Structure 1
Amino acid sequence: MSNETTTADGGVRKKGKLGQRIAYACGNLGQAAFYNAMSTYFIVYVTGCLFSGVDKALAAKLIGVITSLVVIIRIAEIFIDPLLGNLIDNTNTKWGRFRPWQFFGGLISAVLLAVIFSGMFGLVNVNTTLFIVLFVITFVVLDVFYSLRDISYWGMIPALSSDSHERSTYTALGSFTGSIGYNGITVVVIPIVSYFTWTLTGAKGEGQAGWTSFGIIVGLLGILTAWTVAFGTKESTNALRAKAQKNGNPLEAFKALFQNDQLLWVALSYLLYAIANVATTGVLLFLFKFVLDNQAAYSMTGVIALVSGLIMAPLYPILNKRIPRRVLYIVGMTSMIVAYILLGLFSTNMTVVFIALVLFYIPGTLIQMTAILSLTDSIEYGQLKNGKRNEAVTLSVRPMLDKIGGALSNGITGFIAVAAGMTGNATAADMTPSNIHTFEICAFYVPLILIVLSLLVFMFKVKIDEKMHAKIVKELEAKLASGEIVDDEAQTAETVEAIDEEAKTLTE
C-alpha cells in the first residue's frame, strides 16, 4: 500500500509515521549542537585555554594564526559544498540517497571534533608547528564530513514531500530540535567545562581537561542523533523525483545554481543575516565576562534562546497557515533591528541587555525557517526553469552560507579577543572605554547594517512564496507528464522568460 496521498495543490504528501518524524527531528539536535560548538566555542577555547601554557606574546600570535587558518579553511571549503551536494544527489544505494551520509558523516566528524578540542592530544604543548599542520588537515576533513551530514539532512526534506506546507512541518521539527541543541550548548558549556576541569584536575575555571570532555560529549551526541536519522527514516518516491534521478556532473550542478535567480536572492538575504547573527552570538560571552562583569549570567542567554526556539518552532507551521511567510520574515527582521539598537546603546545595562536578547532570539526561528523553505521551494522553480532537479546541491547552499557566517564569526571573535585584550586571564577590570567601544562596533553596529541589507534584499528581490510554489508544482507535474520537460533538457529561452514574468505577476 502506498504511503503517499495527492494534495489539493497537486503535490504529494507523505503519510509520515510518527517514528520517522521523531527520528528526523532528532537529527538536528546533535547537528545544531555540533555547529554551535564549532562556530562559537571552539574559538572561545582557542582564545582562553589552548595556548594558556605558553608566553602571552607568543599565545597572541598563535591565536591569530589559528583563527586566520579557520577563516581561510572554511571559506575555501565553501566552494566544495555544491560538489558535496552533487555527490549526494548522485548517490544511489539500497539505503537511499541521504542516509549513508548521515551514518558516515556523523561518525567521522564527531570523532574529529573531540580530537581538535583535545589540542590534538596535547601536541600543542609539544610542537606548535606540527600542531598547526595536523590541525589544518584534521579541520578540513572534519568540515567536509560535517557538511556531508548537514547537506544530506536538509536535503531529505524535498525527498519527504513536494507539498510546501508538509515541508514546513518537517522543517519545523528540525528547527525545534535544532534550537534545543544549539541553545542548549550555550546553557551547559560553562558548567560542563568547569565541572570536568575540577573533577579531573582539581583546578577551578575552564581548563584543557574540561574542554576535551566537552568535545567528547558533543561528539557522542552527534553520532547518536545522526545514526537516528540514518536508521529511522526512509525517503519517498514521487513523480517529480522519479523523473529526475540523473543529476549531472559538478559543472552542471554549479550551472544550475547560478541559473536559479530565486535561489541566489534568497541565499544573499540569508547570508547577510547569518553573518550578522553569528558575529553577535559568537561574542556574547565576552559581553557578560568583560563588559557586564557577570559571566555566570551568560547561561541565561542560552535559556532565552532555548525557550524562544521551543515556542516559535512548533508555532511556525500554525502561524504560516494564516500569515504568509514573507510577512513573518519581515516582522522577525524588524524585531532584530530593534534588538541591535538596544544592545548598541545600552550594552552596560543588564536589564536592557536581556530585553534586547529576547527581541534578538524570538524571531530567529521565523527568519531561518522562511529562508530554508524558500530555498527548498526553489528546487522546483529551478527544475521548471532549467529542466534539472538538484535537491542536495540546492540545499547545500544553506550550510555553505552558514559556513561563511561561522568562518567570519571565528575571525571576528579572534580579532576582538586580541584587539580588546580579552584573552587568557584578562578580566572586566582590565577593559578600557576604547576596548568596550571596539566590542560594540563589531558585535552590534556592523551586524545591524547587515540585517537592514538582508531585509531590503528579501523585500525587493525574493519573489517565491507559497502560492507561487504551488502553481509551479502543478505546471511542472503537467509538463513532466506530457514530456514537454525532459530530465536532461533545459527549457527554451521563451519558456524561461514566461516563468520569470509569471513570478512577477504572482508577487504583485
Structure 2
Amino acid sequence: MSNATTAADGEVRRGKLGQRIAYACGNLGQAAFYNALSTYFIVYVTSSLFSDVDKAVAAKLIGIITSLVVIIRIAEIFIDPLLGNIVDNTTTKWGRFRPWQFIGGLVSSVLLVVIFSGMFGLVNVDQTWFIVLFVITFIVLDVFYSLRDISYWGMIPALSSDSHERSTYTALGTFTGSIGYNGITVVVIPIVTYFSWMFSGSHTENQSGWTSFGIIVALLGILTAWTVAFGTKESQSTLRSKAQDNGGPLKAFKALFQNDQLLWVALSYLLYAIANVATTGVLVFLFKFVLDNPAAYSVTGIIALVAGLIMAPLYPILNKRIPRRCLYIGGMTSMIIGYILLGIFDDNMIMVFVALVLFYVPSTLIQTTAILSLTDSIEYGQLKNGKRNEAVTLSVRPMLDKIGGAMSNGIVSFIAIAAGMAGNATAADMTSSNITTFKTCAFYVPLALIVLSLLVFCFKVKIDEKMHAKIVKELETKLASGEIVDEEAQTAEIVEAIDGETKPIKE
C-alpha cells in the first residue's frame, strides 16, 4: 500500500471522526434545551414568574399558562410533519438539514431567554399583554425548536445508509443527549440559587436566577446547533440522489400513513414515552411526600446521567452482537421490574434507588432502538411508494416526545392535586389514600402502558437490521434500473418476502 493511499485513508478516518464528534455535540445542547423547556419552565412558572403578583391572581395566571403550554404543544404536534416536509424540500448548497440547525438553533435560543425573563418583566406590568405575547412567542419558539430537532435526527440517513453506521450516530447523539438532559437536572437548582443570590442577595430562587439559567441554556443551544451546521456534511448516495421530489404536505401525510412499520414503531414508542414522562415528572413528589427526603432527589439525576453515559457508547457495541429487537425487549423487561419494585417498596430509600437504576439504565436501549427503527423505515417507505421522506418520517419521533412532554405537564398538575401534594402540603399531611392515588398514577398506570408498548413492538414491528439490509439492496437495484415502486399499500410481511431471493416486492 502506498504512502499516498495510507494518508488518504487516514484523512478519511479523521474526517469521519470529526463529523461524528460535531454531530454528537448537537444533542448536548438540544436535550438540555428540551428539558429546560418541557420540565423546568413549568417549575419556573409555578415558583417565581408571578412572585410579585397578588396570590389569587398568580394562581389564576399559573393555571392559564400551564393550560396554554399544554394546548400549544399538542396543537403543534400536527404541525411537525409539515415542518418535516419543509425540511425535506429544502435545497441549498449547505444541503437539506444544516441550514435549519443554524436558523433553528439561533431563533429558539433567543426566544427561550425571552420567556424565562417573564417577557422582560412585562408580567409585572400588564398581565393581559403578557399572555398574548407569551402565546405568540411560545409558538414561534416551539416551531423553530422543532425545525432544529427534526433536522438533527433527520440528518442521520443523510450521513449514512448503513444500519450499523446509523446506530453509531444515533448512539453518539443519545450519549450527549443524556449528558445534556440529565445534566440540567443536576445543575438547575445550583445555577438558579447562585444567580438569585448574586443579583439580589437572596438564597431563595427568584426571577434573576431563572433568567440567568435561561441564558446559559440558550448559549449552549446556539453553540451546539452551529457545531452541527458547520461540522457535518450530507452525503449524496444513490438512494438520496435518485429519490423523487418529496411533494407537498398532503403527499407527506399520505407517505406517513402508508408506512405501516413507521406507524407501529411510533405507537410502541408513544406508549413508552407517556409512561416515562408520567413517572419521571413526579419522582420529586416521591422523595418529598413519601420518603420525606427531597434533598435525595438529586441522586435521581445522577443515576439517569451515569446510566446514559454508560449505555449510550455501549449500544453500538452490544448491537454488533445482539439484535436490537432483543435489546429493546431486555430494556422493557428491566423497566417493568423497576416499576414493580417502585410500587411495592416506595417507602424504602435503598429499594427505590435500585428500582430507579432498573428504570433508567434501559432508557438508552429503548430510545435508540426506536429511533433506528424509525430511521430504517425511511427506505422501507421509499421502497413502497417511491418517495424518500427523510425529515417527515423522523419528525414523528419529536412529535411523539412533544405529546409526552405536553402530557407530562398535565399529569404533574393532576397528580399534585389528586394526591394532595400541592401548595404547602408536607409529608406529614399525606394519608394512605393520598399515597395510593400517587402510586396508581405514577407507577401502576405507566406500568400498564409499558407492557402494552412491549406487546406492540413484539407482535407488530417487523423491521430490523437484516430486513433493512435487504430493503436497501432491493431499493438500489430498482433505482439503478429506473424502476419506481408505485403507491400501492404494502405490508412488512410482503417486504420480508425478499429474504435473500429475487422475489419481487409487489403483490
TM (norm. structure 2) is 0.92
Does the 8 Å CA contact 2:470/2:499 hold for their aligned counterparts?
A: no
Displacement of 1:160 in angstroms is 0.5
Instruction: Give per-residue Cα distances to partners, 1:261-290, cap 9 Å, x unaligned.
Output: 000000000001011111111122222233
Instruction: Give, in whole Å, the separation in 1 of the partners of 2:267 and 2:14.
Output: 34
Displacement of 1:55 in angstroms is 4.3
Alignment of 1:212-251 (within 5 A): 212-244=211-243, 246-251=245-250
Alignment of 1:17-28 (within 5 A): 17-28=16-27
Q: Is 1:448 matched with 2:444? A: no
Instruction: Give, in whole Å, the separation in 2 of the partners of 1:56 and 1:430.
Output: 22
Query: Is the alpha carbon distance of 1:28 and 1:462 closer, same or farther for their aligned partners in structure 2, counting shifts above 3 Å?
Result: same
Note the residue ranges of structure 1 that are not aligned, 5 or more in a row: 6-12
In the other structure, the counterpart of 1:414 is 413
Instruction: Give per-residue Cα distances to partners, 1:308-361, cap 9 Å, x unaligned.
Output: 001100100111111110010001001111111111222222111111110010
Q: Is 1:500 matched with 2:493? A: yes
Comparing 309-318 and 433-442, the one that deviates more: 433-442
In the other structure, the counterpart of 2:269 is 270
Give the number of equivalent residue pairs. Answer: 492
Give the letter for the 1:490 counterpart. D
CA-based RMSD: 2.2
In the other structure, the counterpart of 1:167 is 166
Give the letter for the 2:292 counterpart. D
Q: Please give the secondary structure, in 2, of the residue aligned with 1:17.
A: helix
Q: Is 1:470 matched with 2:469? A: yes
Alignment of 1:376-455 (within 5 A): 376-423=375-422, 425-455=424-454
Q: Is 1:110 matched with 2:109? A: yes
Give the letter for the 1:338 counterpart. I
Q: Is 1:339 matched with 2:338? A: yes
Instruction: Give, in whole Å, the separation in 2 of the partners of 1:303 and 1:257.
Output: 38
Comparing 155-164 and 205-214, the one that deviates more: 205-214
Query: Is the alpha carbon distance of 1:210 and 1:424 closer, same or farther for their aligned partners in structure 2, counting shifts above 3 Å?
Result: farther
Note the residue ranges of structure 2 that are not aligned, 5 or more in a row: 501-507
Does the 8 Å CA contact 1:52/1:424 hold for their aligned counterparts?
A: no
Q: Is 1:207 matched with 2:206? A: yes
Displacement of 1:426 in angstroms is 4.4
Query: Is the alpha carbon distance of 1:415 and 1:313 closer, same or farther for their aligned partners in structure 2, counting shifts above 3 Å?
Result: same
Comparing 197-206 and 70-79, the one that deviates more: 197-206
Q: Please give the secondary structure, in 2, of the residue aligned with 1:230.
A: helix
Does the 8 Å CA contact 1:14/1:160 hold for their aligned counterparts?
A: no
Give the letter for the 2:175 counterpart. F
Q: Please give the secondary structure, in 2, of the residue aligned with 1:107.
A: helix
Does the 8 Å CA contact 1:71/1:408 hold for their aligned counterparts?
A: yes
Does the 8 Å CA contact 2:244/2:387 hold for their aligned counterparts?
A: no
Displacement of 1:506 in angstroms is 5.9
Comparing 295-304 and 340-349, the one that deviates more: 340-349
Q: Is 1:304 matched with 2:303? A: yes
Q: Please give the secondary structure, in 1, of the residue aligned with 2:415.
A: helix
Instruction: Give, in whole Å, the separation in 1 of the partners of 2:217 and 2:320.
Output: 36
Q: Is 1:136 matched with 2:135? A: yes
Does the 8 Å CA contact 2:470/2:498 hold for their aligned counterparts?
A: no
Q: Is 1:490 matched with 2:500? A: no
Displacement of 1:201 in angstroms is 1.5
Query: Is the alpha carbon distance of 1:206 and 1:310 closer, same or farther for their aligned partners in structure 2, counting shifts above 3 Å?
Result: same
Give the letter for the 1:93 counterpart. T
Q: Is 1:479 matched with 2:478? A: yes
Instruction: Give, in whole Å, the separation in 2 of the partners of 1:58 and 1:346.
Output: 40
Query: Is the alpha carbon distance of 1:201 and 1:417 closer, same or farther for their aligned partners in structure 2, counting shifts above 3 Å?
Result: farther
Instruction: Give, in whole Å, the separation in 1 of the partners of 2:441 and 2:147.
Output: 31
Query: Is the alpha carbon distance of 1:433 and 1:492 closer, same or farther for their aligned partners in structure 2, counting shifts above 3 Å?
Result: closer
Instruction: Give, in whole Å, the separation in 1 of the partners of 2:419 and 2:62.
Output: 14
Alignment of 1:308-319 (within 5 A): 308-319=307-318
In the other structure, the counterpart of 1:357 is 356
Does the 8 Å CA contact 1:463/1:504 hold for their aligned counterparts?
A: no
Displacement of 1:424 in angstroms is 5.1
Alignment of 1:251-266 (within 5 A): 251-266=250-265
Instruction: Give, in whole Å, the separation in 2 of the partners of 1:281 and 1:347.
Output: 14
Give the letter for the 1:141 counterpart. V
In the other structure, the counterpart of 2:503 is none
Does the 8 Å CA contact 1:14/1:236 hold for their aligned counterparts?
A: no
Identity in percent: 82
Instruction: Give per-residue Cα distances to partners, 1:71-93, cap 9 Å, x unaligned.
Output: 11111101100000000000001
In the other structure, the counterpart of 2:177 is 178
Instruction: Give, in whole Å, the separation in 1 of the partners of 2:37 and 2:433.
Output: 29
Query: Is the alpha carbon distance of 1:271 and 1:400 closer, same or farther for their aligned partners in structure 2, counting shifts above 3 Å?
Result: same
